[in-house]
Amino acid sequence: MSAFNTERLAQILLAPVISEKSTFIADKHEQVIFRVVSNATKPEIKAAVELMFKAQVESVKVANVRGKEKRFGRFVGRRSSWKKAYVCLKPGQEISFAEGGVQ
């Protein structure tokens, strides 16, 4: 993990993707989905997750999500494209985003 800059690793993970599909994947395949910086690499994402959440990562898969075209009246605009990472955790590892919430 010392091969990467700690400040860079702190900026790689933007937000967890919390949706119906991501919770299904988390339960079935022990994967967590993150929105990441568009120029992040798989080894950087792995190191960032291990640094931030103290969980062991087995593998990382990335997908580039194209921005949708949206209309604003008669004008057509486009949302920006972004990258998401499917982080597969080693067996027994878990990342919970619902800590401290109402039960």
Render each residue's pLDDT in the chain as its tens digit; 103 residues: 457 888 999 999 999 999 999 989 888 888 999 999 999 999 999 999 999 998 899 999 999 999 999 999 999 999 999 999 999 999 888 887 665 444 4
Domain range summary for the chain, segments of one domain joined by +: 6-89
In angstroms, the CA 24 to CA 31 distance is 9
Strands of 57-65's sheet, edge to edge?
13-16, 31-36, 82-89, 57-65
pLDDT at 103: 43
pTM across the whole model: 0.83
The verdict on domain 6-89 having CATH code 3.30.70.330 is: yes
pLDDT at 2: 57
pLDDT at 6: 87
